[in-house]
Amino acid sequence: MRPLVSVEGARRVDARTREEYGVPELVLMEQAGMRLHEVFREVAGEDGPVVYVCGSGNNGGDAMVMARWAWLEGRRDVRLVLRARRFSEAGRVQARVLERLGVPVLVWEEEREEVRRVCREAGWVVEGVLGVGARGGARGGCGGVVQGGGGGWGEGVFGGCARRGGL
């Protein structure tokens, strides 16, 4: 698969969208998450359960938006896995909304064995960890989540890493 835009190009588009056009990060996150959810819904159908693995940056926030849309559409086989309890500003907003909705949440740094179990049993794992801010591959605790903790993941993996940028 060939990327449509380079990592540096995606960073420039994101920055220009925010700075030149004044589109807030939260709006970009909402749009990206909603559109990714629509694509994922077409790909995955009703296969589940679905685990959304969320990093601390905006890609994690995008995945949280996806999880919220799935939950609001009636899916109750949704699980959220957070790398940690640290987020970007917009990601904090998404995490609060999911908490208020009652979406089940696991934290990698606190519940590694349970995270491994739910990822192995998942029909789908949505990867929202690595984005344009990532340097190299997943490493440390993040690497354990992205790589399924060494125990493998469910049937399918959906990478939501394409950054949103642009109008």
* pLDDT for position 164: 35
* pLDDT for position 101: 97
Eight-state DSSP code of residue 149: G
Domain boundaries, the chain: 7-159
CATH number of 7-159: 3.40.50.10260
pTM: 0.80
* pLDDT for position 47: 78
On the CB side of 120, CA atoms within 13 Å amount to 10
Neighbours of 5 (CB within 10 A): 15
Q: How far apart are CA 161 and CA 167, in angstroms?
A: 18
At residue 54, what is the residue type?
A: C
Q: How far apart are CA 124 and CA 7, in angstroms?
A: 26
Per-residue pLDDT of the chain (167 residues; tens, 9 = 90+): 566 677 788 788 888 998 999 999 999 999 989 999 999 999 888 877 999 999 988 889 999 999 999 999 999 999 999 988 888 899 999 999 999 999 999 999 899 999 999 988 898 999 888 665 555 554 444 444 444 443 454 455 666 433 333 32
CA 77 from chain centre, in angstroms, equals 16
Q: How far apart are CA 45 and CA 156, in angstroms?
A: 12
* pLDDT for position 106: 95
